[in-house]
Structure 1
Amino acid sequence: MLAALLLRALGAPVEGEPTDSPAGDSSGEEELVPSDLLSASPVWDLIIGATAGHQKEFEDEFPQGVKYHFLENYKVSSLPAKCPSSNFSMEACLRRLAEGLHTYMVLLEHVEREYPGSSILLHAKYYSRQLVDLIKKKMKSPGQVTVLTSSQEEQLVQDINNPDSFHRRMTGHSILQQLHDFLREAKLAIRKREKSRQMRKGSNMIIAAIHPSFQILQR
């Protein structure tokens, strides 16, 4: 029994326990997790769901000739860095994500100039602010999050401006595409760290609980 508990705490499969995901579930994102986890917040699905509709919106605007992958040619050089998959603490990851979302909110000003009535833009701006607030609440030192100054924001928007209207529109679409990827990878990065933290906590609790018995057996 104790061995099974240790295996479960360490994330290893226990004999007789199903390990495959249900049919139709390929990502594992539907796994039940405690609601106090940042990765379990419904805000993620709301903003990722909104930005996921960008590809269809793009294809509706350009039904012929321009393919979605063409946006790779219009990537903004000043895009925020993503959280590495390893060798990065949870605090450092949260800080990078909060700062990255702040930068994306500035970049969305360019999108708004080209597509002021975009519902995707509206949802992206609204839920980005909510997500930043959630991230900061999970940080030990939220005051360490640095944002661009007003002059830096103006310079950033100015740098991606272009006299060619087609180029400006492509840049706007590229920003939305990259924001979607940033959000998806951010959620996965946080989920991975939260899961690892839960496993360590569970393992330590079980070992602490059985340690006195283990000492008696060794006498």
Structure 2
Amino acid sequence: MPSAQRSRALPVLLLLLSATALHVTGAPCSSPGGDTLEISGDELPDALKTSASTKWKPLTYLLICEVNSLCDQFVEEFGVPKDSVSDFKPDQLELPRDCSSPNFSKENYLLRISRGLERHMVYLQFVERECSKPGKVSHIRLRTKALADHVMELMNNSKRAQGLNSEVRDQLLSNLNEATAWQKKITVPVLLRDYRTFLENTLRALRCIEDRARKKNGPNA
């Protein structure tokens, strides 16, 4: 393997090894819709042997459960209602629920996911400041960045997925930073719930893209 590929694969390998250590026996994670996500070591492939088309699976599963766990911990620690309502409305990018349309565009689909992940990385900066254990949020941010990188690998023209500039990041955080201390606390679960929903939509969307590619290229693709 060329040195450049090894250098790109190493951070992903470390993330997946840490994920294996956390979930080797299986960690059930219930979704708002009642579905259960169960992660085991078998679902965390060797990052040095997998392509971008499969790297996203273990990371997305792991992120969903970690975000859910962080939300629960924050609610318990600060006594904030888990179903709290905040005046802050996340700048959510909706993902199409169906990719079977003849007008479906893989590039636009992936671009929406990439932009959404970029925005949630900004919101996680705010969450990190409000948490008593910011290290956990830092890990989620790193894994979110890794997932965003994988999404870019799947794109034909990854240059379209430009990172957010400082002006956009400041705008996303402006209302959050101006809130009162209590408003900030009740906004954290809102942001985490919103991110979990986005990750679940991302998981569905990437599966849809994978299924389309398999049908197009044949069962042995």
Structure-1-length-normalised TM-score: 0.68
Deviation at 1:116, TM superposition (A): 5.4
Q: Contact 2:56–2:147 at 8 Å: present in 1 too?
A: no
Determine which structure has more spread, i.e. the larger CA radius of gyration. Answer: 1
Task: Decide which of 74, 84, 96 is 2:112's aligned counterpart.
Answer: 96
Aligned to 2:83: 69
Aligned to 1:15: none
1:186 correspondence with 2:202: yes
Q: Distance in 2 between matches of 1:165 and 1:118?
A: 17
Question: Structure 1 residues 74 and 39 mapped into 2: Cα distance closer, same or farther (>3 Å)?
Answer: farther
Q: Could you give the per-residue CA deviations for residues 66-121 of structure 1, whole angstroms, max 9, x where no partner exists?
A: 53122xx2264342313212344221111111111111111112112211523441
Aligned to 1:170: 186
Q: Could you give the per-residue CA deviations for residues 169-204 of structure 1, whole angstroms, max 9, x where no partner exists?
A: 11122111211111111011110221132123227x
Q: Contact 1:47–1:123 at 8 Å: present in 2 too?
A: no
Deviation at 1:125, TM superposition (A): 0.5
Name stretches of at least 5 consecutive residues in structure 1 with no aligned partner: 1-25, 206-219
Name stretches of at least 5 consecutive residues in structure 2 with no aligned partner: 1-34
Q: Could you give the per-residue CA deviations for residues 35-71 of structure 1, whole angstroms, max 9, x where no partner exists?
A: 54347532222222211213421341255xx53122x
Task: Decide which of 82, 95, 103 is 2:94's aligned counterpart.
Answer: 82
Q: Distance in 1 between matches of 2:89 and 2:117?
A: 16
Identity of aligned residues (%): 24
Q: Could you give the per-residue CA deviations for residues 140-187 of structure 1, whole angstroms, max 9, x where no partner exists?
A: 000011332212211221122234211011112211121111111101
Aligned residues: 174
Q: Contact 1:54–1:177 at 8 Å: present in 2 too?
A: no
Q: Contact 2:55–2:150 at 8 Å: present in 1 too?
A: no
Question: Structure 1 residues 109 and 27 mapped into 2: Cα distance closer, same or farther (>3 Å)?
Answer: closer
Structure number with greater CO (CA < 8 Å, separation at least 6) is 1
Secondary structure (helix, strand or coil) at the match of 2:83 reads helix
Alpha carbon RMSD of aligned pairs, Å?
Answer: 2.8
Secondary structure (helix, strand or coil) at the match of 1:152 reads helix
Q: Contact 2:114–2:151 at 8 Å: present in 1 too?
A: yes
